[in-house]
Amino acid sequence: MLPLISIPYISRVLLPDGIGRVSFIDSLSYYFVAIAEFGIAAYGVREVARTQADKDKLNKLVSELVALHCITSAISLVFYCITVYILWQKIGDIRLVWFSIAFLVANFFSCEWYYMGIEKFRYIMQRSLISRLLGLAAIFILVKEPKDYFIYYGIITFAAIINLTTNTVILFRHLHISFKNIRWRLHLQHTKITYLISLFYGVTVVLDNVLLGMVSTATAVGLYAMSARIVRLAANLITDMFQVLFPRTVALIHEKKEKELEQTFLKSVQIITLLTIPAGTGIFLLALPLVQTILSERFYAASLNLEILAILPFIKTYSLFLGKQVLMSHGWERKYLFALVAGALIFVASTLVLSWYFHQAGACYALIVAEAAVLAICYYQVKKAMPRLAIIDYRTLLQSVVAAAVFVPVIWLIQNYIASPILVVLISLAVCVPVYFAIQAFVMKNQLLLDLYRSGKTMLHP
């Protein structure tokens, strides 16, 4: 949620052009992080979850995966430098490149997968919160005018470096990491599929700014990047949940607890539906006042982007649930990979064509089409492999659509009687959020909300 504090300030100081420059190099850097990752992240979470009870096996596993990541990171860095040389005209600032290289070097010992595998999510939250609060303070202190875009990128990279360095120091303290007599090559046969998954998954998530920047302007990239970031914030509130649930799902499958597993899947679907439907509806109806409030008048064109991308939280969250929590947790990585390859090919082709003619709006249309294709293929793969598994809760879907429909007259009335964009957004949230959940709980009798309510009462009054 911290970007909701920084985005309004940054958008007004750096303007679309400066944000576009930073977004281009940042997206490029993160895709080479995905190249260096070599499928270790998803594979590492799963294997650490399986072996965490055996300290000797865990030490060996982590040592081998860290060594493998160092090797792939060095190779990735070489190709990154070549790519920067080829795309230099689109970057045009050596300071951005040096910050990016510093981040890529620090990423050599990336080991977030270890902490996720042992379910240390409290530590991840606390560490990330501290580094991002420091970064947020630095942004307000150091970024003062449009030419400070390189300082903004430096702050972003150093906040990431703090996270990476902290992870590495604690890892080496808690485990006996040794690079002697290790057999990192044995993991290649297991990581190659998850590696391809991370590469093709990153095409729509990371390469979107790069592809748009290749056929359009830095300003178009800035307009697209900020609108996509706002929408993805809404989606990330839910998709991050699956980072927590993935190791638990793997454990349930390993322990053959079928009923608990089915309940976990069903509740995941209910949460997705319950939260993404109103989020998308609100983004669509409040597109213009959101842009005026969070960004600035210079980003007026981004309101169309928000309207196009309003359905993204539902599509992205649902496809990630089917792909990662269902397919990958069962070891069906190839099925998920097929969906991602199809989506990536559709995205690259449609982005290059549509962005050439429609600039940032074209990239938005391309993103929705590609993500919808991934969702459709994942749904087909899951139903084919597990035909009896309930992966759609039609009751919750209908309840969520009907409850969210109330937003239309409410927001229309608010916009007609209030001129200030920020007041429109705040009052709409203050009215729509409680009304939505009240309708779900007391009119629709939503089972998930009722269960949560009963659990809360039990915790408060055992």
Instruction: Give dist(CA 153, CA 163) in Å, integer.
Output: 16
Give the model confidence (pLDDT) of 419-453 as tens digits.
899 999 999 999 999 999 989 888 888 877 777 76
- What are the φ/ψ torsions at residue 19 (nearest 5 degrees)? -65, -40
Instruction: Give dist(CA 257, CA 251) in Å, integer.
Output: 9
Instruction: Give dist(CA 327, CA 386) in Å, integer.
Output: 10
Distance linking the first and last C-alpha atoms of the chain: 32
Per-residue pLDDT of the chain (462 residues; tens, 9 = 90+): 677 788 888 888 888 888 888 888 988 898 888 888 887 877 787 778 777 777 778 888 888 888 888 898 999 999 999 999 998 988 888 999 999 999 999 888 888 878 887 777 788 888 888 888 898 899 999 999 889 999 999 998 998 898 888 888 888 887 777 777 777 777 777 777 878 887 888 888 878 888 888 888 888 888 888 888 888 887 777 776 666 666 667 667 767 777 877 777 888 888 889 889 999 999 999 999 998 888 877 788 888 999 999 999 999 989 988 888 888 877 788 899 999 999 999 999 999 999 998 889 999 999 999 999 999 999 999 998 888 877 888 888 999 999 999 999 999 999 999 989 999 999 999 999 999 998 988 888 887 777 776 766 665 565
- Domain positions in the chain are 1-206
Instruction: Give dist(CA 12, CA 18) in Å, integer.
Output: 10
Give the model confidence (pLDDT) of 24-36 as tens digits.
898 889 888 888 8
pLDDT at 429: 93
Determine if the pTM surpasses 0.85.
no
- What are the φ/ψ torsions at residue 128 (nearest 5 degrees)? -65, -40
pLDDT at 132: 87
Q: Which of 3, 251, 233 is nearest to 116 (CA)?
A: 251
The answer to whether 346 and 370 have CB atoms below 8 angstroms apart is: yes
With a CB cutoff of 8 Å and minimum separation 6, the contacts of 186 are 64
User: Which H or E run contains 12?
Assistant: helix 3-37
Place of tokens 């992240």: 41
Instruction: Annotate 349-366 with b (16+ C-beta within 10 A) or e (fewer).
Output: ebbbebbeebbbbbbbbb
Instruction: Tell me the angle at which helices 3-37 and 94-106 cross, rounded to the nearest 10 degrees.
Output: 70
pLDDT at 243: 62
